[in-house]
Amino acid sequence: MGRGRLRVLLGAAPGVGKTYTMLEEGQRLRQEGLDVVVALVETHGRAATAAMAQGLDTVARRSLEHRGIVLTEMDLEAVLARAPELALVDELAHTNAPGARHEKRWQDVRDLLAAGIDVLTTVNIQHIESLNDVVEQITGVPQRETVPDAVLRSADEIEVVDLAPQSLRDRLAEGRVYPAERIDAALSNYFRLGNLTALRELALLWLADEVESALKDYRAEHGIDGAWETRERVVVALTGGPEGETLLRRGARIAARTAGGELLAVHIAGQDGLRPARPETLARQRSLVEKLGGTYHQVVGDDIPAALVAFAKGTDATQLVIGVSRRSRLRAAVTGPGIGATVIRESGDIDVHIVTHAAAGSHQTLPRLSGGLTLRRQVLGAVLALCGGPLLTWLLVSLRSPESITSEVLGYQLLVVIVALVGGIWPAVFAAVLSGITLDFFFVEPFHTVTVDESAHVLALVLYTVIAMLVSYVVDQSARHIRAARRARAEAELMATVSGSVLRGQDALGALIDRTRDAFHLAGVRLVAGERVLAQSGEPLAGGPPSTVPVGTRATLELHGGSLQASERGLLAVIAAQLDAALEHADLTETAREIGPLAEADRVRSALLSAVSHDLRRPLAAATAAVGGLRSPGAAYTEQDRDELLATAGESLATLGSLVTNLLDVGRIQAGALGVSLGPVDAEDVILPALDELDLGPGDVELDLGSRLAPLIADRGLLQRVVVNLLANAHRFAPTGTRVRIATSAFAGTIQIRIIDHGPGIPAERRPEIFVPFQRLGDTDNLSGLGLGLALSKGFTEGMGGILDAEDTPGGGLTMVIALPSAGPDGTGTQGRDSA
């Protein structure tokens, strides 16, 4: 009997429908005549899942007693004895009870497969061993039950049971996953939308990697060498030069064009270790690769193109990004095709991108206007005259005939024109004189003498010189115009860049200073205001004083290490104007930043005056009237009347005291002077006194306090006031006949206190308003105080290092969530803080 087949249903989270899908598939196969048994299924009380299991042959569970508790597990021996064609086994990662044959359920499944029984099983992504730490980072919940990756990779078939995150949350809110008492905590902890989205992506990517691995095996088995472009895989070649960052960002953009694209960076190092590369540059580029989500590789090889192409093919790359060659055209012509050309020729089906980079001119440097042709071109022209003349003479002498004088003259004339085009006036004059002497020496009788017997020869020499000077003049003027055009374009690009920096509100000063230094070839540029340095690029040089340019009335621009031409002063004046505008923009921004808190304080002050004029007047007037009535001479009151007046005065004064206390607390919070003394606090020690303070009992509040929760870090008095405020609001808005629910739980290093009501709730777009002081959110009864309760609660919570947030209650209502740091087992992290 052969080994059984393993089929795995993989889910991103509990509740996506893995067990239901497993049972549904079992029903379908049973109807097709396959012998299917339920070896073990966990319905978790879900009616739809239990209904789907009906009609399937089920192997009774085995009972095991552990520490006085009876546990049930899959009866492995009974399933092996039953020997079905297909066994349905739920929860592959489950840990068996002590006394079972194996510690883990996946080991039981291994025995079933060895016996020739096919197995259909389920597992969640968080239970895969290699992803355990990643899932804990996402959800904050450690997973103790895991399945080795090798077990899943050995499966014959893996299928993802997928459900959109919001659909799963809706299913959870409807009570189709967990019982009602667990819904709220699940929605706001493990089943957060961001968590579910990340887990779903993790499950799909893990399966995609497994599919790719299977595809590689298939290609290897069938001898298929070419890459199949199932996803974009971009390889970027790094030389260790400054162009690497440009190439990496271009490669990342290419990889991002398709879902699942990968970025790989590779540096080819020589076997002798002598190939120049800057380690610090490679280290920065490696860091950038990781930030872009790619991987860095280093390959040893002397043949760079061959090693690069081999790496690209070995990783199934679809795109290869390399930098344009930094070699000059002359060097390329002498040494032959470079790395880029070789890589293109050898790359086969891989697309090759040759990208211009920083070394090819990323800095906006203004061309100098000193002369039409560079010294390098003039020297090259002279070398051409010295080398080309003898070569041309040897060629013409070997072909000389009595009738060839015209060709010889035209040949030397062509040489003079070429030298003029390359080197300008003076090399051309030198070539003209040299060619005239050579022509007379070798081709005009008497041969091999420098004599001019005929005036025509003198005229020819003069014509050569004139032609050379005219052609070189034209070339020189053309070069000057080209340089002027390049400079104008560079100036326009420079001004567009610096203007854009100011308009976009970037660090305009830094951008302008950097551009100025690059553009004018300076060692350092500083923007100073008196003794204060506002911005600096490069280092000032010791020695003579720097050139200075005034920047409005605010600052001075210092230029170090370079001399400026008169034509460059105009551009500097424009840059100075842009710097002045940037300084003004910064001043206005700072003024606006200073005015913002003042405007907010003015708004609060206006609301405070409104509250004092209205809300404080009412209890004050009631207390005054009650006391005045008691003191009224001649008034006859019964004992009952006196008690009522005294009670009215007492209630009014208590209300007034509470309002004044809240106003003072709001002032402390906004002034940053809230006194907080932190320490470990048990949530129960705060919740129960809050219930007593509000005189709420079991008929008003339902408690669901988590057991074995660590203490939280809080100020006991402030936290109790927060709970009282939130609980009073929830009780006020809870419909008649319903109870407010208080639940506690631990999540991602915090302890959460949830106060849940089923009242009218608050629209999501208006929730930020409830935490603003003096907001009643539409209340018009004037009996609900100043609208400070939630503002104070949020301020107190944040003052203790926590978060107060509002969420929807499943089924309608509002849930207020207090999240505060959890204390360690030894109470660490409990240092007090007093910011009064």
Residue-wise pLDDT for 700-731, tens only, equals 888 888 767 788 888 777 788 788 888 888 88
For residue 316, is pLDDT > 70?
yes
The pLDDT-based confidence of 789 (bands split at 50, 70, 90) is: low
pLDDT at position 116, please?
Answer: 92
- Compute the distance between CA of residue 589 and CA of residue 595 in angstroms, rounded to an integer: 10
What own/partner pairs with CB < 8 Å and gap ≥ 24 does 32-37 have? 34/85, 34/86, 35/84, 35/85, 35/86, 36/84, 36/85, 36/86, 36/87, 36/88, 37/79, 37/82, 37/84, 37/86, 37/87, 37/88
Give the pLDDT confidence of 446-465 residue by residue, as tens digits: 777 766 666 776 676 677 66
Give the CA-trace dihedral at 449, 450, 453, 457, to 10 degrees. Answer: 120
For residue 362, is pLDDT > 50?
no
CA–CA distances in Å: residue 652 to residues 46, 408, 622, 657: 54, 122, 6, 9
For the whole model, what pTM was predicted? 0.44
pLDDT at position 780, please?
Answer: 40
The pLDDT-based confidence of 832 (bands split at 50, 70, 90) is: very low
% of the chain at pLDDT higher than 70: 71
Give the pLDDT confidence of 722-774 residue by residue, as tens digits: 888 888 888 888 888 888 888 888 777 788 888 888 888 777 777 676 666 55
pLDDT at position 226, please?
Answer: 54
Give the CA-trace dihedral at 155, 161, 164, 169, to 10 degrees. Answer: -110
Which position has the higher pLDDT, 536 or 383? 383
For residue 627, is pLDDT > 90?
no
pLDDT at position 778, please?
Answer: 46
- Compute the distance between CA of residue 537 and CA of residue 539 in angstroms, rounded to an integer: 7
Which position has the higher pLDDT, 489 or 138? 138
Confirm if 792 and 669 have CB atoms less than 8 A apart.
yes
If we measure between CA atoms, which residue out of 44, 80, 43 comes closest to residue 59?
Answer: 80
For residue 476, is pLDDT > 80?
no
For residue 630, is pLDDT > 90?
no
Mean pLDDT in residue range 252-268: 81
Lowest mean pLDDT among 66-80, 98-112, 674-688: 674-688
CA–CA distances in Å: residue 728 to residues 370, 540, 626, 696, 734: 83, 66, 28, 10, 10
pLDDT at position 328, please?
Answer: 52
- Compute the distance between CA of residue 362 and CA of residue 325 in angstroms, rounded to an integer: 14
pLDDT at position 831, please?
Answer: 36
Give the pLDDT confidence of 486-534 residue by residue, as tens digits: 666 666 666 665 555 555 544 567 777 777 776 666 778 888 887 788 8
What mean pLDDT value characterizes the chain? 76
pLDDT at position 830, please?
Answer: 36
